[in-house]
Amino acid sequence: MATYTPMIQQYLLVKSDYQDAFLFFRLGDFYEMFFDDAIKASQILEITLTSRDGGSEDRIPMCGVPYHSAKGYIETLVQKGHKVAICEQMEDPKATKGVVKREVVRVITPGTMTDGKAMDGKTNHYIAASEMLAEGKFALSYLDLSTGEASVTIIEGDEKNVISELQSLKITELVVPEQLYLSMNDLAVSQSILLSIEESLLSTDFQPFVSNCPDDLHHSVFRLLNYVKRTQKRPLNHIQPFTYHIKEEFLSIDFNSKRNLELILSIRGGDNKGTLNWLLDETVTAMGGRKLKQWLHQPLANRIRIEHRLEIVSEFLSNYFIRMEVRNLLKEVYDLERLAGRIAFGSAGGRDLAQLRESLRKVPSIVSQLQSSGSKTLQSLCKGMDDCSEVCELLAESISEHPPISVKEGDVIKDGFNDRLDELRYASRNGKEWIAALEQQEKERTGIKSLKIGYNRIFGYYIEITKSNIHLADLSRYERKQTLANAERYITDELKEKEALILNADEESLALEYELFTQIREEIKTYIPRLQALASSISELDVYIGFAEVAENYRFTKPVFHDGRSLKIINGRHPVVEKMMNKQLYVPNDCELTDEKNMMLITGPNMSGKSTYMRQVALTIVMAQMGCYVPADEAVLPVTDQIFTRIGAADDLTSGQSTFMVEMMESQHAIVNATNRSLLLFDEIGRGTSTYDGMALAQAMMEYIHDEIGANTLFSTHYHELTGLDQKLEKLKNVHVAAAEQNGRVVFLHKVKSGPADKSYGIHVAELAELPADIITRASEILQELENSSKKAQSNLIMEAEQLSLFDEGHSANEVAEQHSEEELIALKRIRDMNITGTTPMEALQFIYDIQKSLIKR
């Protein structure tokens, strides 16, 4: 350290406390970075790497960015998973001898960004903290620093389940104790999640935040708040008490199922288009958009709350004109939650307060519309709408109608709000008018039309006369101020006097205006909890109206719930697929699961619509339990506690897991965690391994779900041999997606019908995909050979059966009965009654296995 200059020593001392962050070190009009920070940042930000003399023998690597454009560079670093510590000058360099005092004023991290181009107004931006409570049980707390919304819950499972929940909520930073950091870091890095260590559990100021949380979750909340307080170095007044999410109150959908169902992100594009959120988002406020996503993440599992939401949507459908009036008013409401966040942080400007004022002005009209509806249900929504009239009045009196971007530019405070400010403004404005009059007076006195009075920061006000006109002026009245190449600048005693008045008035006016603005902002801070409550009410109102719009636009139906487990959907549709194609072309389908038949085995060719059919059933349940109408003519539904899907195939390259391994892991998660009130969707389980292995696994899973879990289940397969399980599993029923051949080509009817499919049409699908004709021809030949081989095997079985004399004509039935046990007689009768000609080789093998098993048990 002793070999470096004092400034570099200061830099290294500050950097020692922020080893995991890029240190933006303020030097005049630039943020500079040195040493390794400079080398790395120059590569990431694609800026020039230079060097400077720092007192040592070797020059120090250095790069920098202008302070006025630093925001974009900081955002780039944070988006790439880095932290940035902002170190500002805390003293005026002109008034300081030696090294200027500098301090880190904030650390910006992936989870603590509160603004920027990457911040989607309709998406929450969470940071989370987690710790292990017991084996297989974790606490997870998370908050959105930009809005103050905060939640805490319990995650059951291992570290992978925690990471899955973070992915589901799009959380990019997790705060953990050091011990958990060691066990989770590799997994987190593979999913682009930054782990940050925080050991402090100080709770002095944080007890009010956990008033509604179980005691064993407090440490997770305290750890998160300590980290935020340490990095943000600013008040946390706007953070709301953490809401404890009781698992039983919500429909649980794991990350894989949310991805497979494309609730918020499409599988192919990775964006919003083609998702359920894309279809349902008719909200007109940013707050409403975020609330919709929260409801998508956690639909309800409480029948009373679900039906209350549905009732509100029904009322808005019945009150069209009220709905339209309120919707138009909502369009003029700004993001109250994030405005409150900026006010709490002290970063709100004049335009933010003007937006808050304009938003609050709309609340009385919204309340009036709801009250005039005559509906008690809609009138009840007004109870949470505190119009915060005191705030609105204060802002109406104090903030100008069109304030500038910067608070320090002036004209933020209205005339008439403060007497002293009015006096200073009058002096400034009057002085400038006097100068304009003086310029005209001097022109007339001298006859010099080009004479002008100007101003610059160095010389102040001056009278400028070109050298060609100097002989026309009475120089005895002027005092020379500056000489230019073609002009002289002068000043008079009068001008000096007015200059002092004007400049002092401007400077004092700006200082007073900033002071008044700060006082107003501090006063509004005391109203933040009321503003947040209002924001929550308005966001819910926005979602309800959006649901009514969707229901009306797409012909959705109000679902009916019951306390049983049966499910009936008449003419159900996949809402997203229907929107993306012509409504007239979409083929609706029924789905009925009863207590007696709650497992459905779906067969049919590829591209026939099996996966779409399964997804539409799940989406119908998700929408209904959000409180939204559903795409069907009729829907009578149970309250489902969990949805698990195993649809689609994808390698997990980051962890080296194959498609089949991913399939098995997702299946295991579903089977272990499902209850008899869950919905399970399994699409072609076992296709990633050999035919016999896959078929055996699929059958074993179906048997286990049928016998041990009892959940409503949709199971699609290409293993036609499994269709015989309806004889063994009493709650299983076969259905198929119909297809037909016309002129040698397959036509998909997309209609679900009873019974198993008779053909797979695999080669026809390949032909539709335009595989080379030679391949199609050869595949048809091979298929014919295989079918002939199968027929030969069946013929051999028939001959062998005829040679067996199971009931010898020489013996009576009584004699046979005496020679065999009851189990053997049942087996003999099953063999006698078996339709061998209509049995495939695999079905025959299964039949023989079942017979053998029954006899061995004896």
**Binding site residues for ATP, as ranges?**
604-611
CA distance readout (Å), 406 to 104, 154, 349: 23, 44, 7
Find, among 690, 699, 682, 686, the residue nearest to 660 by Cα: 686
Do residues 679 and 624 make contact, with C-beta atoms less than 8 angstroms apart? no
CA distance readout (Å), 315 to 169, 207, 308, 558, 658: 31, 40, 11, 12, 50
Residue type, 818: E
Do residues 798 and 639 make contact, with C-beta atoms less than 8 angstroms apart? no
DSSP state of 502: H
Helical (H) or strand (E) element with 248: none
CA 333 to chain centre: 22
Order of strands, sheet of 599-603, starting from the edge strand that comes earlier in the sequence: 252-253, 642-646, 679-683, 712-716, 599-603, 732-742, 745-754
From first CA to last CA, the distance across the chain in angstroms is 87
Residue type, 83: K
CA distance readout (Å), 395 to 145, 349, 535: 25, 13, 18
Torsion on CA atoms 337, 340, 341, 343, rounded to nearest 10:
160
DSSP assignments along 688-720, one per residue? TS-HHHHHHHHHHHHHHIIIII--EEEEE-S-G
Residues 6 or more apart whose CB falls under 8 angstroms from that of 603 comprise 610, 716, 717, 718, 720, 723, 734, 735, 736, 737, 756, 757
The helix/strand/coil state of 589 is strand
HSE (side-chain half, CA atoms, 13 Å) at 51: 9
Give the Cα separation of 187 and 180 in Å (integer).
Answer: 11
Do residues 409 and 422 make contact, with C-beta atoms less than 8 angstroms apart? no
Do residues 153 and 138 make contact, with C-beta atoms less than 8 angstroms apart? no
Give the Cα separation of 738 and 756 in Å (integer).
Answer: 10
Give phi and psi for 200, each to the nearest 5.
Answer: -70, 135
Find where tokens 């930054």 sit. 194
How would you write 728-763 as a 3-class SS string? CCCCEEEEEEEEEEECCEEEEEEEEEECCCCCCCHH
Q: Is the dihedral of CA 303, 309, 310, 315 positive or negative?
A: positive
Do residues 361 and 315 make contact, with C-beta atoms less than 8 angstroms apart? no
Long-range CB contact pairs, 125-128, < 8 A, 24+? 126/169, 126/170, 126/171, 127/171, 127/173, 127/174, 127/175, 127/224, 127/227, 127/228, 128/166, 128/169, 128/171, 128/173, 128/174, 128/175, 128/224
The helix/strand/coil state of 417 is coil
DSSP assignments along 504-571, one per residue? HHHHHHHHHHHHHHHHHHHHHHTTHHHHHHHHHHHHHHHHHHHHHHHHHHHT-B--EEESSS-EEEEE
Give phi and psi for 779, each to the nearest 5.
Answer: -60, -40
Provide the annotated binding site. 604-611
Do residues 244 and 152 make contact, with C-beta atoms less than 8 angstroms apart? yes
